[in-house]
Amino acid sequence: MNLSESIGNVFADTDFPELNGGYYENCTFQKCKFIGAPIKNSRFVECRFECCDLSISSVTGSSFRNVTFSDCKAVGVNWSTSAGIHSGSFLQCKLNDCTFTQLDLRNIVFKECSLENADFREARLEKANFSGSNLTGAQFNKTNLIDADFSEARHYFFDPRGNKLKNTKVSMPEAIGLLEVLGATLTH
Element holding 44 (H helix, E strand): strand 43-45
| Residues 81, 77, 93: CA angle, nearest 5 degrees | 130
Return the half-sphere exposure (C-beta side, CA atoms, 13 A cut-off) of residue 146. 6
Q: Which residues contact 179 (CB under 8 A, 6 or more apart)?
A: 185, 186
Q: Are 93 and 117 in contact (CB under 8 A)?
A: no
pLDDT of residue 86: 94
The secondary structure of residue 15, as a DSSP letter, is B
Give pLDDT tens digits along the chain (188 positions). Answer: 445 789 999 999 999 999 999 999 999 999 999 999 999 999 999 999 999 999 999 999 999 999 999 999 999 999 999 999 999 999 999 999 999 999 999 999 999 999 999 999 999 999 999 999 999 999 999 999 999 999 899 999 999 899 999 999 998 777 666 666 656 555 66
**Nearest CA-CA partner of 78 in 25, 120, 21:** 120
The Cα 70–Cα 55 span in angstroms is: 14
